[in-house]
Structure 1
C-alpha cells in the first residue's frame, strides 16, 4: 500500500513537472528565441539525466541497453523531437500558454490515430468518443475569432507539434523496454543539438547565458525529471494507470498559465476547458478499465559474473499508447527486481 501511494505521488509529480513547461517557457521566450528555447529545453533534459546516469550505469542490466537494431527508431525519435518542440515554442510565442497546455491533449488523438492506422492497434468505442471531445475542444481553442473563418497560427503550430510527438511516441514504443536513461539522454543531447543548429541556420540571436541556464534547468525538470519519475511510478502502478494520473498535466499547465501570466479567462477557453475535461475523463476511465485485464508477470533467471540473478518482469499491455508526453504513456512497462534487492531502471 505504501509503495502504491508513493507511486501515485510520483505520477502526479511527473504531471506537475511537465505542466510548468508552458507558462515558464512563455516567460523565457521574451528573452530566448523559440528555436534556441526548444534546443535548451532538450539539452537540459539530456545533460541532467546524463549526470544521473553516470551514477547508475554500472548497475544497469546489459540487456536493457540500446542495440544497433534500435538505431532506426532512435534516429526517427530524434528528428521528430527536433521538430516538435520548435513548433511548440513558436506556437506558445504566437498564442497563449494556457491554450498550448490544453492543446497538448491532442497528442492523445495523434498517437491513437497513428497507432490505429500504422500499427493496427484496436481502439475502444469509449476512446473514440474521448477523441471526438478532444478534437472539438482543440477546434474551439484554435479558432481565430468569431468574425473570421480561420484558425489562429499559434494553435495550429501547437497542434502540429502534438502530431510530431504522436508519431514520435509510436517510434519510441518500439524501444520502450530499453534503458530509460539512454533514451532520455540520446533524445535530449541529439534533439537539443539538432535544434541548436537549426537556430543558427535561421539566424536567431544567441541569448545571454543568464537565460540559457534557466531554460536548461526547466528542460531538466519538465522533460528529463518528469520522464524519470513517471517511469518510477509506472513500475508500481503499471503503464495504464500511470498515464491516467498523468492526464492532469494539461489542466495544471493551463491553470498555472492563468495564475502566473495573468492570461484572460475567456468564455471560449472555459467552453474548451469543459469539453477537454470530459474527453480527458473518458481517457482516464478507458485507461483504468483496461489496466487490470492486460497485466502479467513472469520470472527470468540467468547467471551473470557467476551470480544467479532473478528478474520479475511485469508487462502492462494497453490497447493504445496514449503518449501524453514524450516517453510517457507507453503501455509496456518493465519492472526488474534483482535477487540482491536492487531495483534497476
Structure 2
C-alpha cells in the first residue's frame, strides 16, 4: 500500500470513528430536542465548525498540501443532489432513531455500504467484485433481521426510516465522489449550511420548538465533530479510494456506534440482535479485505 493510499485509508477509518459518535449521543439529545430540529442542528454545526476552521487556517496562512480544485459549473448537479439528499437523510435518520434503539440504528447504518456499492456499480460503473457482492448480501440479511418486528409481523417503522436514510446517503456518497478532487473542507461547508438550512426550514414548518441554548450548543458541537470532521475525512478518502472502497473501510462505524450505545443505555442483548451482529461482522469481513486488495492495486497503478 502506497503512502498516499495508506493516508486515505486512515482518513476513511477516522471518518467512521467520528460519525459513530452521532447515533448514541443524538439519542440522548432527542429526549429534549425534536427529531427535525436535531437533524438541522447537526448539519448547521458541521457547517459552522468547518467554516471557522477554514477561516482560522486561512488567517494562519498555512495551506499545507494542495486541497483540491475549485468547484465548477459542471459540478452544479452533483452539488444540488448532495445538498438535497443531505436534507432528507438526517431527517429520516432522526425520525427512525426516535422510534428505535440507538444500538439497532447504529448497526443498521451498515446498509449505507449496500446502497453506496449498488449505486456505484449500477449508475457510475464502479467495479464491485464477487466477494464484495456476497458481503453486501450478508449485510442486507442482517438488516432484515434488525428491521423485523416479530410482534407486528412486519418491518418496524423506525428501522425502515433508518434504511431510507442510508439509501439517501448511499446515493449522496456517489454524488460526493464526483467532487472528491475538490477541497473537502469546502464541500463540508456547503453540505453543512445548505443541508442544515433546508432541515431547519422543515423543522420550523413542522412546528418544532426551539431547543434550549444548552441543548442547541451540544447538538451543534456533536454535528461539528460527527458530521463536519467526519465528512471532511470521508471526502478526502474518496479522492484515492473511490466511493465503494471508502464505504467498505467506513463499515467499522456501526460497530463502534453500537458499542457506545450499549455502554450508554445498558440495553439487554436480544438473540436477534446478536445474530444480526454476527452477520454484520461476517459481511464486513467479506467486503473489507477485497476492498483493501483493490486499493493496493489502485495505489500501485497511480
Please give the TM-score of this superposition, normalised by the length of structure 1: 0.79
Task: Tell me if the contact between 2:111 and 2:140 (Cα under 8 Å) persists in the aligned partners.
Answer: yes
Alpha carbons of 1:172 and 1:6: their partners in 2 closer, same or farther (altered >3 Å)?
A: closer
TM-fit CA distance, 1:64:
1.2
What SS is found at the alignment partner of 2:173? helix
Unaligned runs of at least 5 residues, structure 1:
298-314, 316-345
What SS is found at the alignment partner of 1:64? coil
1:292 aligned residue: 296
What SS is found at the alignment partner of 1:226? helix
1:75 aligned residue: 80
2:124 aligned residue: 119
Distance 2:133 2:9 in 1: 27
Task: Tell me if the contact between 2:103 and 2:262 (Cα under 8 Å) persists in the aligned partners.
Answer: yes
Aligned 1:184-333 pairs, distance under 5 A: 184-230=188-234, 244-295=248-299
* Residue among 160, 163, 188 paired with 1:159: 163
2:42 aligned residue: 41
Q: Which has the higher helix share?
A: 2
Alpha carbons of 1:32 and 1:161: their partners in 2 closer, same or farther (altered >3 Å)?
A: same
How many residue pairs are counted as aligned between the two chains? 295
Distance 1:169 1:14 in 2: 13
2:56 aligned residue: 55
Please give the TM-score of this superposition, normalised by the length of structure 2: 0.89
Q: Which moved more, 1:5-14 or 1:186-195?
A: 5-14
Distance 2:128 2:278 in 1: 24
1:98 aligned residue: 103
Distance 2:193 2:267 in 1: 33
2:140 is the alignment partner of 1:131: no
Distance 2:221 2:102 in 1: 19
TM-fit CA distance, 1:55:
3.0
TM-fit CA distance, 1:289:
1.7
Alpha carbons of 1:51 and 1:253: their partners in 2 closer, same or farther (altered >3 Å)?
A: same
Distance 1:238 1:142 in 2: 31
1:170 aligned residue: 174
TM-fit CA distance, 1:160:
0.2
Q: Which moved more, 1:59-68 or 1:95-104?
A: 59-68
Distance 2:173 2:79 in 1: 11
1:181 aligned residue: 185
Distance 1:88 1:61 in 2: 34
RMSD over equivalenced CA pairs, Å: 2.5
1:89 aligned residue: 94
Q: Which moved more, 1:91-100 or 1:166-175?
A: 166-175
Distance 1:63 1:258 in 2: 39
TM-fit CA distance, 1:296:
5.2
Alpha carbons of 1:37 and 1:175: their partners in 2 closer, same or farther (altered >3 Å)?
A: same
Distance 2:241 2:76 in 1: 27
What SS is found at the alignment partner of 1:295? helix
TM-fit CA distance, 1:246:
3.0
Structure label with greater radius of gyration: 1
Q: Which has the higher strand share?
A: 1
